[in-house]
Amino acid sequence: MTVLFADVVHSMDIAAAVGAERLRDIMAELVDRAAVVVQHFGGTVGSFTGDEIMAVFGAPITLEDHAVRACLAASGIQEEAKRLASDVRERNGVELQLRVGLNSGQVIAGEIGSGPFGYTAVGEQVGMAQRMPPGDAASSHPTTDATTPGTTGTA
């Protein structure tokens, strides 16, 4: 399974510049766009919290090429974020950038708890994807060594 995390760079600065209502609108648009991309590549959006989206590829439906799909989704999400960033820059004068991290490995995925918490994934591999070192937020999506072999020979 491959886990994808995407979070807004300097989201607190954006919030201070545009206000809570506009930030909600920006985040809603970003989440909607990201969810469409994730679903297009067969992934499942596991959660959205504040300025971060988590998606899983390879669960609940097994996908042999989960790493490739996650990489393609990461690129697609970055493209959608760039399009939205153009509008945000023009309308609000702030820079919207998204940082995306990927990691592949064994995780536990499914419903957690007895409340309406929804589908998610837990495990060491999830934390590694969430804490990927920042790269060039506007153009890259770092992957771990565990993800890279699943993408070899694809383009």
**How crowded is residue 33: how many other Cβ atoms within 10 Å of its Cβ?**
17
Per-residue model confidence as pLDDT tens digits over 78-134: 999 999 999 999 999 999 999 998 988 877 666 666 655 566 665 555 556 655 555
Residue 35 structure tokens: 């969810």
With 90 as the cut, is the pLDDT of residue 43 above it? yes
The count of structural domains within the chain is 1
Q: Report the CATH number that the domain containing residue 75 is assigned in CATH.
A: 3.30.70.1230
Range of the domain at 93: 2-151
pTM of structure: 0.76
Residue 34 structure tokens: 């990201």
Are 2 and 58 within 8 A, CB to CB? Answer: yes
**pLDDT (0 to 100) of residue 106:** 76
Distance CA 13, CA 91 (A): 16
Least confident of 61-70, 76-85, 133-142: 133-142
| Average per-residue pLDDT for the chain | 82
